[in-house]
Amino acid sequence: MGRSLLEQRIIEEVRKYIPSVRKHIEENTFDQRYVIFPCYVDGCFDQLEYDTEEERFTRISYLKGKSGTGVSIEGDEFSAHFDFEDIEHKEIDLTGIEL
């Protein structure tokens, strides 16, 4: 099954943050296994997770409106346009995705 238009857009937007995130990773030492970096996509802070042991990005966490009443991109809603009482937490597994 392919990725939704929303997930594709989030992945493409997060790719813009990768150079600065990689620089931050190289310049710092982390004492925990997973490090979370904020990424601003369509008016919403999504989260990019980095596994320090495997040295790879593992997932992106984001919020999505449940009602489907948000602004649409060919039927799929932007992540930021929803009522905060009507949201669900979603994740994109980055296994096999080159960032």
Query: What's the CA angle centered on 68, arms 65 and 73, to 5 degrees?
Result: 95
Q: Which tokens in the block code for residue 8? A: 């594709």
pLDDT digits (tens, 9 = 90+) for 11-42: 999 999 999 999 999 999 999 999 999 988 77
- DSSP 3-state of 20: helix
For residue range 42-68, list pLDDT tens digits in order.
767 789 999 999 999 999 998 776 665
Write out the two tokens for 42. 């369509």
Q: Is 42 helix (H, G, I), strand (E, B) or coil?
A: coil
